């Protein structure tokens, strides 16, 4: 559907999913190259969550393919996809309430390096792991919360930690599922700053409701409605597209003003 410039690092080809007679994902294709910033938007019930679940391996598609760096990964389970570099964040923060920020990142780093199965030692005394943990926390300005348990951390900062964990897995493709959802307006700036500082060669697909954020972040917008792609192009053109306007029925009328 879209030809990405250069070699695509991430491709979705004619992805379909139906539950009985209900088609929830209808022939969705997508292609991304390293460094792309794409936003996936669409009204409620458009099938965005199903799409994320299909791509990450939580759901099996009825037909179609997902490719990562040229390799077909449709048959792999969720953790195998992560190992190959397809990493997601969650719409609602999924963190371990009784673990500290450092423990979350330590676990991610150890897991990435295949050391999470070790039954001896403590990552707090592993200099290489701790160095990376400290560096990653510092990048997202979370250093002060290093040894705080998640349940003592404000929600906006939990969202940052969620991004830090995803980055610690060294992804090639990052799926951000509404990174600013539930964050108080005063903290959205922090999230946006973190998004702007994402590694330049990382392909990022963001699912987001906050149109301001979408238009500032994405170079390309894909609009999903009733399970199918109805628009794929520059953010500025999206708001002028009649089908997009129809799909939203004016519920994002202010999106036009922003663009």
Which tokens sit at 112? 């990435």
Q: Which is nearer to another protein, 121 or 250 (CB)?
A: 121
In whole angstroms, the minimum distance from the beta carbon of 166 to another protein comes to 8
Q: Which is nearer to another protein, 38 or 150 (CB)?
A: 150
For residue 232, state whether it binds another protein (rule: CB under 8 A): no
Q: Which is nearer to another protein, 121 or 236 (CB)?
A: 121
For residue 71, state whether it binds another protein (rule: CB under 8 A): no
For residue 10, state whether it binds another protein (rule: CB under 8 A): no
Question: How many Cβ atoms are within 10 Å of 185's Cβ, its own excluded?
Answer: 8
For residue 181, state whether it binds another protein (rule: CB under 8 A): no
Q: Which is nearer to another protein, 63 or 131 (CB)?
A: 131
CA distance 130 to 116: 14
CA 34 to chain centre: 14
Binding positions for another protein, 82-121, rule CB under 8 A: 82-83, 87-88, 90, 94-99, 103, 106-108, 110-112, 115-121
Figure out which of the listed residues 25, 31, 50, 56 binds another protein, where binding follows CB under 8 A: 56
Figure out which of the listed residues 146, 226, 230, 259 binds another protein, where binding follows CB under 8 A: 146
Figure out which of the listed residues 23, 78, 190, 226 binds another protein, where binding follows CB under 8 A: 78
Site track 120-139 with another protein (rule: CB under 8 A), x = hit: xxxxxx--------x-----
- Residues forming the site for another protein (CB under 8 A): 56, 58, 77-80, 82-83, 87-88, 90, 94-99, 103, 106-108, 110-112, 115-125, 134, 143-144, 146-147, 165, 169
């Amino acid at each position: 559907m879209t030809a990405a410039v250069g070699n695509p690092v991430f491709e979705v080809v004619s992805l379909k999913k139906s539950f009985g007679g209900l088609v929830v994902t209808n022939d969705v294709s997508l292609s991304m190259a390293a460094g792309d910033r794409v936003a996936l938007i669409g009204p409620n019930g458009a099938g965005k969550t199903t799409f994320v679940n299909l791509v990450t391996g939580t759901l099996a598609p009825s037909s179609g393919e997902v490719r990562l760096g040229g390799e077909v990964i449709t048959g792999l389970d969720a953790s195998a996809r992560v190992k190959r570099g397809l990493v997601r964040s969650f719409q609602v923060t999924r963190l371990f309430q009784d673990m500290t920020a450092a423990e979350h990142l330590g676990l991610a780093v150890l897991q990435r390096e295949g050391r999470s199965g070790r039954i001896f030692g403590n990552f707090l005394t592993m200099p290489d792991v701790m160095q990376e943990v400290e560096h990653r926390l510092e990048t997202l300005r979370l250093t002060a919360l290093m040894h705080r348990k998640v349940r003592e951390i404000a929600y906006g900062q939990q969202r940052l930690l969620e991004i830090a964990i995803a980055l610690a897995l060294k992804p090639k493709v990052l799926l951000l599922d509404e990174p600013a959802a539930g964050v108080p307006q005063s903290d959205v700036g922090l999230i946006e700053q973190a998004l702007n500082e994402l590694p330049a060669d990382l392909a990022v697909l963001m699912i987001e409701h906050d149109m301001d954020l979408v238009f500032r972040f994405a170079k390309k917008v894909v609009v999903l409605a009733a399970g199918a792609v109805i628009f794929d192009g520059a953010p500025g053109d999206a708001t002028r597209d009649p089908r997009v306007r129809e799909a939203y029925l004016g519920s994002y009328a202010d999106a036009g003003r922003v663009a």
